Structure 1
């Protein structure tokens, strides 16, 4: 029974679990004195005959705060397989009335979570997927991509908004709200504004916003070199009809002699230097082509 438990729990167990498996307090203490078991926190142990993995580290960190503690932030994102990278510091959320001091290599926040925002996954209490995405997305560069990927697969935008409204006032709530607004139906217009802002900041000139080309208006056009830049919202907004309309539009613009560059909201927010570099390169190539004629 004990071996099965340790295999399921990454080599981590609590004193209560050890007792239920038939070990007395004295037997636990003997294992600790011999070094076969290591104490991770009060009443939480690791059996020192295996590798102390990231999963073991997160499990022991959460259990070290007691049965009401919940893994949150990037620790919860790792536990939900939303990211393959475990954080160096484990975020743990406890009720406001919870007891216990902060442990090393953890970040403790005290907040009462709605039951809808808590799941038990592989024996560990973690924030539910929607709240996990909101909290993790604002903690590191590339967080928007972390939000976009689940939206393309199995999370609906309204679930994120509900989790946001249930947890107003928490740390990072304003930043998460901005991401949700950008992920809404006006994402394309937000992307257009970001593109204009990037062009101005980079000192690139010769462009016109909403420039007419081949019967359409492109987001940004460079008339002298015939470069059209189109922006897109987040990937999960694309449906079959929108895809077909965009391709018809893009083909018409290209057939009129214009080069089309497309950038997504994520490109503009996460990789702005790359966007500007590609635009500069396209302008340079088109200018060289014109001079060679």
Structure 2
């Protein structure tokens, strides 16, 4: 493959971009590269990052340029990474990159430099550039994009699992902006509980199990799913109780009160509902059979 063909192939794969190091590796001298800028309509988007003439400056081009510029010294992050990972339809005007505190990079046009030491677990390489991984991208973007709670809901539905996001939150707790992240995550968890209850309803109806009531009042609480005739209570644990101490205590107080009142108490998690539905239904049937 000739150097010209190799360069054209590289430009096609990299949204019209090439680094000076890549150009030299493919046989293009620094002098030729300068001439392309002066005569052939090439443009310098960042130090040592060039856009070939005739290629449009798209959102993908801008994000890739930021990624090629920062290289392995950091990663595209926040809404820039969210666009690259398909979570957002458009890229931000300033593409954020996160670099370790010790790295002395100065911002360039179109790029916002953030300084924070990231865990390798929170980094990935996607289509040739380093970006923050999906869980951290979802969290960091949710606090800066308009309607962040809507964005986070969509990310949880389409792009990343809640448990991965929660563990990422725990790993990065204390970082700038993560107090607000915690509030958004608890709100998302509350909505996840509703989704879990809807899934339980689907399972019960699909299995032909009857005699249950959703949200039966019990003292100052409600039973998620109650079989009053059999005194079987089914509680669905979502995610918010992992973070919200008050809610955790309230759930346990309710469970203790149910046991004292001679109810048979069953607890299931979102993981149970989604990966072990037969186990869930079997436990419910067994509890109902024992009470009859």
TM-score norm. by structure 2 comes to 0.64
Could you tell me whether the CA contact under 8 Å between 1:78 and 1:86 is conserved in 2?
yes
Distance 1:4 1:141, change over 3 A: same
Aligned to 2:199, which of 221, 229, 240? 240
Q: In structure 2, the residue corresponding to 1:108 is in which secondary structure? A: strand
Give per-residue Cα distances to partners, 1:13-32, cap 9 Å, x unaligned: 11111112121112111112
Confirm whether residue 22 of structure 1 aligns to residue 30 of structure 2: no
Cα distance in 2 between the residues matched to 1:166 and 1:241:
31
Could you tell me whether the CA contact under 8 Å between 1:92 and 1:108 is conserved in 2?
yes
Give per-residue Cα distances to partners, 1:89-119, cap 9 Å, x unaligned: 1111011121221112322111111111111
Could you tell me whether the CA contact under 8 Å between 2:71 and 2:130 is conserved in 1?
no
Deviation at 1:172, TM superposition (A): 1.3
Task: Note the 1:44-193 alignment, pairs <5 A.
Answer: 44-184=49-189, 187=190
Give per-residue Cα distances to partners, 1:128-169, cap 9 Å, x unaligned: 000000001111222112211232245222211111122222
Distance 1:123 1:28, change over 3 A: same
Count of residue pairs the alignment pairs up: 203
Deviation at 1:34, TM superposition (A): 1.1
Could you tell me whether the CA contact under 8 Å between 1:95 and 1:110 is conserved in 2?
yes
Moved more, 112-121 or 29-38: 29-38
Structure 2 segments unaligned to the other structure (5+ residues): 1-5, 206-211, 215-292
Moved more, 152-161 or 18-27: 152-161
Give per-residue Cα distances to partners, 1:158-214, cap 9 Å, x unaligned: 211111122222221111111112222xx16xxxxxxxxxxxxxxxxxxxxxxxxxx
Deviation at 1:64, TM superposition (A): 2.5
Moved more, 146-155 or 165-174: 146-155
Deviation at 1:243, TM superposition (A): 4.9
Cα distance in 1 between the residues matched to 2:159 and 2:129:
22
Cα distance in 2 between the residues matched to 1:82 and 1:143:
12
Cα distance in 2 between the residues matched to 1:128 and 1:236:
25
Cα distance in 1 between the residues matched to 2:193 and 2:85:
22
Q: Which residue of 2 aligns with 1:223?
A: none
Deviation at 1:120, TM superposition (A): 0.7
Cα distance in 2 between the residues matched to 1:71 and 1:236:
32
Cα distance in 2 between the residues matched to 1:244 and 1:52:
50
Deviation at 1:38, TM superposition (A): 0.8
